[in-house]
Amino acid sequence: MAEIPPPVQPIGIEMKLRKLELPAQTSQMYDDFVAGIDARIRRGDDRSDICRDALMRLWGHPQGDPLLQAQMDPRNITLEAEYYGDCDPARFAAVKPLLWLWYSFDRSPAGMNLELGIRLRRMLAGHIFKRVGANFKCFPYVEFTFGYNMEVGDNVVVHRWVLLDDRAGIVLGDRASVSDFVNIYSHTHDINLQQFVDNKVTRIGARCRLTYHSTVLAGAQMGENSMLGAHGLLTRNAREHAVYVGIPAKKVKEKDRELAAPVKHPQQKM
Ligand SMILES: CC(C)(COP(=O)(O)OP(=O)(O)OC[C@H]1O[C@@H](n2cnc3c(N)ncnc32)[C@H](O)[C@@H]1OP(=O)(O)O)[C@@H](O)C(=O)NCCC(=O)NCCS
């Protein structure tokens, strides 16, 4: 495919995010809910109790059927990652109650409440991930494999229905943007002997954009400011400042480095 020069003018209109205000009392209630969980985690309370108590509040302390009540307590559930031989049981035990709280919050009556969800997930990420920078913004229905192998920079955004398979590890650089329905893997299976698994860290550089429904396979590395087009499948490394599309993804464009120069990112409220 012939290289196409970048457009001189950006497309469309410049979109700015609106600032939304919740009623002050509600905002305070949300802050107290998140800060209360954070304080208990920091104090070293049993994390399964913390998770159960938070979910009981979100479901209005249901009485009656013990089956429903059992789902509030992570001691009563299993997650897929726990079955994997390469899962570190001690590390996973520490994060499992927080992952269960994260996933169950998303499926609770509050699940689509963006403001509360972003505040809660940002706080939980600080206790689950290996590293998370400032202003992490995560939308509902995101899933991790271990959680504890995630390394996330500043001002990273992860949209809905994303799978972050951090089995070997996923690194998301500063200001990386992960769109709806993206999958990022860090493990793969031998084509003949399925039980042989190769774990390879996947690195998404600073300011990279993974657009809708795209997939990055284990071990791929995306250079700074590169982009993967909708439905693209990245099987190899992507060069910095380049646009890749298709299955397997191939480079079709160079971005304008001047237009895409890093700007000082204002501290986001949300
Ligand atoms: C990658 C993308 C940004 C490129 O857009 P663009 O700069 O307008 O690119 P063009 O339309 O000029 O496409 C260049 C070539 O790649 C092809 N192409 C573009 N996007 C493609 C995609 N997702 N998959 C396969 N091929 C694609 C085009 O058909 C064209 O091929 P041709 O030269 O043979 O005709 C865009 O196609 C895309 O995938 N956008 C996703 C939506 C988005 O922006 N998401 C951000 C959400 S946060």
pLDDT per residue as tens digits for the range 171-190? 999 999 999 999 999 999 99
What pLDDT, on a 0 to 100 scale, did the predictor assign at position 256?
86
What pLDDT, on a 0 to 100 scale, did the predictor assign at position 69?
94
What pLDDT, on a 0 to 100 scale, did the predictor assign at position 263?
58
CA distance 56 to 207: 39
pLDDT band at residue 257 under the 50/70/90 scheme? confident
What pLDDT, on a 0 to 100 scale, did the predictor assign at position 7?
58
Does 229 or 259 have the greater pLDDT score? 229
Is residue 74 a contact partner of residue 100, using CB atoms and an 8 Å limit? yes
Segment 129-134 mean pLDDT: 98
What is the rounded average pLDDT for all residues in the chain? 93
CA distance 229 to 244: 6
What pLDDT, on a 0 to 100 scale, did the predictor assign at position 6?
55
Segment 135-140 mean pLDDT: 98
State yes or no: pLDDT of 203 exceeds 90: yes
Query: For the chain, what are the domain ranges?
Result: 24-128, 131-260
Is residue 212 a contact partner of residue 180, using CB atoms and an 8 Å limit? yes
What pLDDT, on a 0 to 100 scale, did the predictor assign at position 8?
60
What pLDDT, on a 0 to 100 scale, did the predictor assign at position 218?
98
CA distance 160 to 172: 16
How far, in Å, is the centroid of ligand 1 from the Cα of 172?
Answer: 23
How far, in Å, is the centroid of ligand 1 from the Cα of 232?
Answer: 10
Q: Pocket residues for ligand 1 (CB within 6 Å)?
A: 1, 4, 177, 179, 209, 211-212, 227, 229-232, 243, 245-246, 252-253
State yes or no: pLDDT of 260 exceeds 90: no
Q: For the full predicted model, state whether its pTM sits above 0.95.
A: no
What pLDDT, on a 0 to 100 scale, did the predictor assign at position 33?
98
Other CB atoms within a 10 A radius of the CB of residue 212 amount to 14
What pLDDT, on a 0 to 100 scale, did the predictor assign at position 268?
45
State yes or no: pLDDT of 270 exceeds 70: no
Tokens 């000082």, located at residue? 264
How far, in Å, is the centroid of ligand 1 from the Cα of 260?
Answer: 17
Query: Candidates 3.40.720.10, 3.40.50.11720, 2.160.10.10, 3.40.50.1220; correct CATH number of 131-260?
Result: 2.160.10.10
